[in-house]
Structure 1
Amino acid sequence: MDSLALLLLSIFLLLSPIGIKKSNASIHIYHNDPFREVGNAYLLSGGSEGLMATPFSSSNHISYIRFENITFWRSKDVADQHSDMEHSSGLVQAIIFEAADRNNIGGSAYGGQRAICCTPDLAKMEGCKQGEVLRRPSATDINWPVVLDVQFSGNSLFTKMDYREVPITKTGMYNLFFVACDPKLKELVMSGKTMWKNPDGYLPGRMAPLKKFYVFMSLAYVILSIIWFTQYVRFWKDILQLQHCITAVIALGLFEMILWYFEYVNFNDTGIRPVVVTTWVVTVGAVRKTVSRLLILSVSMGYGVVRPTLGGLTSKVLLIGITYFLASELLDITEYVGTINDISGRARLFLVLPDAFLDAFLILWIFTSLSRTLEQLQAKRSSAKLDIYRKFSNALAVTVIASVAWIGYEVYFKATDPFNERWQSAWIITAFWDILAFALLCVICYLWAPSQSSQRYAYSEEVGEESDEEAHSLTSRKGEGDISLVKQEKNVGTNDDFEQEDDEEEDKRE
């Protein structure tokens, strides 16, 4: 049950749209992608991923970046300016560098603006060749950064890059850029694909630990399911409606963790994320998040404890649930399905705002309803139910504190790592929310575990816990005559009026 944690995270996203995770895939496909002007160069980003070094003792587990069917196209006007006999009529360069060596690409002359391509002044100072990318050798390996040249010949409209495979010998965050320094190539477009492989598969380095994480989360849900369903079957006759809802959340959580694991396994084996498979995974996740939030909202309203139904609020709860599901589904599909390119900042903000506003509204509704439920239980002197709800409130408070602390850490993590150099620990950001959600679900399962006394915590027509016990003793005794029955009927009648008036007043307030 990740409701409260993710609610707080979404409120944070209202202030800073940095929380959307990347949706990189290990096979980067380019469909006539255009180059864009940056400084004195025209470039196209080919991808950025964390790659592990190839083990020295292994010949099969090789880490590399492979170029396949890379084709560059220039305009016909530019091609016609050259003779068909020219050997070199345009240069495009592919640059691969590790994030730590980013300052070894480009430079500035006399403290001026930093340039990617070598200028006349930089040629005098650095000894670089004008019209090519300025590259300085890495301090750890003189062969890095890697620069691969591709030449246009004659007046041809296109040129193809030879099949290349660049082995990765050092663990790091690697970046690939295609650069053209010739102003005539400003309308350049590119097609083809690059394959980024780690020693254990195609799964990006920052995502690889999540495959093992989802194995452990699946096992945790299996253990919780066994414990819960054992009690669920054992005390079937005493099960509450609320416990049916908890069962659904456990089942959805287990199903989601298993689906994520197999989706990552497929991603690792093939290097791509099939649209159908990934859509199923995010849909199950959206359903689970929606049901979790509605469950916490219903518990906070006292459903099944201080009121038998949600009454007139049922339609409102269902409406907010459907709306939240649609917003969450749209956000997750855009983030995970299909594309391998990061969406722009404006698009991120546009997609996250509906989800964040709904989360903010839900958290306000949850705490308002919880406060009213606690007041009702205190007024009715239901000490057993009040104790359950106080423990539930404490669990939510701990979740709030943990969420706020983690959001602060996430802000610090992202602010101090703009180039993703700490990518090997980035998976923890995602994993924390699943762990916190599972922990809160365990607390709720503990508080509302099926037992012989489950009905004691259900909606009752008695004034308080003391009256419940008195009614139980009266009905269990035989041969006491009609006086006991009359006394019990009076109590029931009196309390029915009290419950009905109280529920009507609460519905009006809602």
Structure 2
Amino acid sequence: MARLICAAAAVLAACKTVSAQIYQFENVSLPEAKSLHTLYAFYVYSHQEAPERTLGQPFVKFHNLVSHSTDGSKTDVDLKDYSGIQLSILPYRNFWSLINPEKFCSSQEDVEAKNAETANVLLAQKPAGTPDADVNLYSHSVKFLGADGHPSDQQLPVHTTAVYILVFSNCGDFSGGQISGSVIVKNAYGFLPGNEYHKMPFYGWLSMFYTGMACVWMVLSLRYWRELFHIQYCITIVIFLGLVEAFLWWRFFEDWNNSGIRGRFIFVVAILASVVKSIFSYMLVLVASLGWGVTRPYLDQGTIVKVQALTFLYIVLDFVRESVLSFRHSHSLSMAFVMLCLLPVALLNGIIFYWIFTSLSSLMETLSERKQSEKLVLFQRLWKILIVALSLASLSLLFQLFDLSRSISVRWQYQWFFADGITHVLFCFVLIAIMVLWAPSTNGQRYAYKPVGDTETEKDSSSKAVDSSQVWADEGGLDDEEEDDSFWAAAHGKGPKADVIGNKEESS
């Protein structure tokens, strides 16, 4: 696990030098002579295909790029005519057709054949005399400047929708230097990469959806506040966490789109909100399936320790997973490394769902034996809802695995939905179903824990309903002022009420 934590730290550290559609060079060493390196991936929509066209033509800008000699034998002035250092972007799908790995640097013969303008620059495989822009290749030579020199910017329009690879090449014979400056790519709507853009409106609408759910739940809770019990309080927390998560991600993408910089602080906080919401939701369903507040007033110490350990482990591993997935499309992360970060969380999810379903099955058997038919029907419906959600999630995962066989240049425009969107849609579906099942109502306390000795034998639907406050008063000899703290006193084994419940459980 230590390796995974270090890996996440390394990925997050990348934010310092790579800010989304702005790739920053800060005294980066030059490549070796006659070498080429791929650095980053930019996702660009053409102006015609962009989801928004408010800012004009997409472009790539080579900004303040300059080389400095670190070789004592040659100064910047001595190297002012050196043109071998270049930064270029070119389409990923055409990379190997444009770049010949056996010969990617031009020679004098290429100049004479009109395949290149000068010698010792990046050579593209294209028809003689064809401009670089016609094959969507955009290059900039990074010069060495003297004491009075100033770097010149170059801005080039991008006309084709594609994934573009940033290439750092050195076709000369000198490598004792460093480079500073930045490469900026901007879409017609802002700085967000094309594969991330759709998340911004999605999380905006999701925030409004959670706000609507929160308002409905608050109205019901205020209306039936005397009937509330702990599971309904937990549902309130889940809705709040979902709202916080959606708002933070929306704010993160909005800021990224406007500034071109991936805000590290809000990025980390948004990931933490996602992880905490997920594990809190899982644990809510788990403890309900274990019978907490349904067939028992509290969980035993051993179960609590297991839940706490599982929660801590999940938060650490899922934070690593979310961090890595956020960078997998732009950075050259190996498939083995990505799988190393995904598998532990997948295994934990399997353990959690297995525990939930086995506990839920046992709970339904207990409720059936006790003839608590209303509670049994509720958890049978919960079982069906979880089965449907798990089935849909499995189908989505299978499609993603199948889709991996397709080129990223084909699937990058819609992949966000299967990686992020469908997860939130399924989560909202399950949350709404749980809200309906446990919605505050006049007789909401019938789903709460009751000692076995006092459990009602349910009558047919035509029997007359009894006021819930009277039921509770009859069961424990409690008045309304005492009922709020009876559960917690019993749960912690304190006070005379704990003794009453303990005696009743022993007698059962």
TM range (shorter): 0.7 to 0.9
1:227 pairs with 206, 213, 216, which one?
Answer: 216
Per the alignment, residue 10 of structure 1 pairs with none
Counterpart of 1:249, as a letter, is: V
- Distance apart, 1:451 and its partner CA: 0.9
Deviations 1:454-496 (A, max 9, x none): 11111122479762559x98998xxxxxxx99xxxxxxx9x98
Aligned to 1:43: 36
Q: 1:405 aligns with which of 395, 407, 410?
A: 395
Q: Pick from 128, 132, 136 the counterpart of residue 125 of structure 2.
A: 136
Q: Deviations over 1:101-135 (max 9, x none)?
A: 3243223xxxxx75433589999999567643331
* Residue of structure 2 equivalent to 1:26: 21
2:71 aligned partner, one-letter code: K
Deviation digits for residues 305-340 of structure 1 (CA, Å, limit 9, x no counterpart): 121111222233233223322333354456659x97
Choose which of 422, 427, 431 in structure 1 pairs with 2:421. 431
Deviation at 1:238, TM superposition (A): 0.7
After superposition, residues 201-240 of structure 1 pair within 5 angstroms as 201-240=190-229
Aligned twin of 1:8: none
Q: Distance in 2 between matches of 1:474 and 1:27?
A: 66
Of 128-137 and 229-238, more deviation after overlay is shown by 128-137
Q: 2:324–2:338: 8 Å Cα contact kept in structure 1?
A: no
1:98 alignment partner, one of 91, 96, 114: 91
Which position in structure 2 is the counterpart of 1:65? 60
- Separation (CA, whole Å) in 2 of partners of 1:127 and 1:475: 91
1:146 aligned to 2:137? yes
Q: Say whether the 8 Å CA contact 1:34–1:190 is kept in structure 2.
A: yes
- Deviation, 1:275, is 2.2
Change (3 A) 1:105 1:75: farther
* Distance of 1:49 and 1:474 partners within structure 2: 64
| Alignment correspondent of 1:265 | 254
1:432-471: CA deviations, max 9, x gaps? 111111111111111111111211111122479762559x
Aligned counterpart for 2:74 among listed residues 79, 104, 126:
79
* Aligned with residue 160 of structure 2, among 161, 170, 174: 170
Contact 1:72–1:160 (Cα < 8 Å) also in 2: no
RMSD: 4.2
- Give the aligned residue type for 1:68: H
Amino acid across the alignment from 2:446? R
Task: Report the Cα distance in structure 1 between the residues aligned to 2:465 and 2:385, rounded to whole angstroms.
Answer: 37
Question: 1:296-375 residue pairs with structure 2 within 5 A?
Answer: 296-312=285-301, 313-332=303-322, 341=331, 343=333, 348-349=338-339, 351-352=341-342, 354-375=344-365
Shift of 1:242: 0.6
User: How far apart, CA to CA, are the structure 2 residues paired with 1:78 and 1:391?
Assistant: 79
The answer to whether the Cα contact below 8 Å between 1:173 and 1:421 also exists between their aligned partners in 2 is no
Q: Secondary structure at the match of 2:190?
A: coil
Give the paired residue count: 457
Give the deviation of 1:276 after TM superposition. Answer: 2.2
- Structure number with higher relative contact order (C-alpha < 8 Å, ≥ 6 residues apart): 1
Q: How does 1:385-424 map to 2 (within 5 A)?
A: 385-417=375-407, 419-424=408-413
**Aligned partners of 1:78 and 1:184 also within 8 Å:** no
Per the TM alignment, residue 181 of structure 1 is displaced from its structure 2 partner at its CA by 2.4
Give the TM-score, by structure 1 length: 0.76
Q: Which runs of 5+ in 2 are unaligned?
A: 1-10, 468-474, 477-498
Match of residue 450 from structure 1: 440
Contact 1:98 1:145 in 2 (8 A): yes
TM-fit CA distance, 1:239 = 0.7
Indicate how the Cα distance of structure 1 residues 342 and 454 shifts in structure 2: closer, same or farther if over 3 A, else same. Answer: farther
**Secondary structure at 1:54's aligned position in 2?**
coil
Structure 1: 5+ residue stretches without partners: 1-19, 108-112, 477-483, 486-492, 503-510
* Secondary structure of residue in 1 paired with 2:457: helix
Which secondary structure does the structure 1 equivalent of 2:380 belong to? helix
> Structure 1, residues 33-52: CA drift from partner, whole Å, max 9, x if none?
34567xx9423434312212
Does the Cα contact within 8 Å between 1:31 and 1:190 map onto a contact in 2? yes
Mean CA deviation greater in 367-376 or 71-80: 71-80
Check the 8 A contact 1:384/1:465 in 2, yes or no: no
Of 275, 278, 281, the match for 1:292: 281
Q: Which moved more, 1:50-59 or 1:275-284?
A: 50-59
The aligned counterpart of 1:383 is: 373
Q: Is the 8 A contact 2:40 2:332 kept in 1?
A: no
SS of the residue aligned with 1:79?
coil
Quick check: 2:68–2:144 contact (8 Å CA) kept in 1?
no
* TM-superposed deviation, 1:59: 8.9
Distance 1:398 1:233 in 2: 31
Say if 1:348 and 1:422 are closer, same or farther in 2 by CA, change over 3 A.
closer
Letter in 1 for 2:285: I
Q: In structure 1, what is the Cα distance between the partners aligned to 2:295 and 2:331?
A: 50
* Worse-superposed segment, 89-98 or 141-150: 141-150
Q: Secondary structure at the match of 2:94?
A: helix
Runs (4+) of structure 1 exceeding 6 A deviation are: 20-24, 56-59, 119-126, 138-141, 472-476, 495-498
- State the alpha-carbon separation in 2 of the partners of residues 260 and 311 from structure 1: 37
Alignment of structure 1 residues 480-499 onto 2, 5 Å: none
Q: 1:398 to 1:183 in 2, by over 3 A?
A: farther
Q: Evaluate the alpha carbon distance shift between residue 270 and residue 353 of structure 1 in structure 2; reply closer, same or farther with a 3 A threshold.
A: same
Residue type at the aligned position of 1:45: T
- Secondary structure of the residue that 1:216 maps to in structure 2? helix
Do residues 116 (structure 1) and 96 (structure 2) align? no
Q: CA separation in 1, counterparts of 2:443 and 2:207?
A: 30
Q: Any conservation in 2 of the 1:97–1:146 contact (CA below 8 Å)?
A: yes
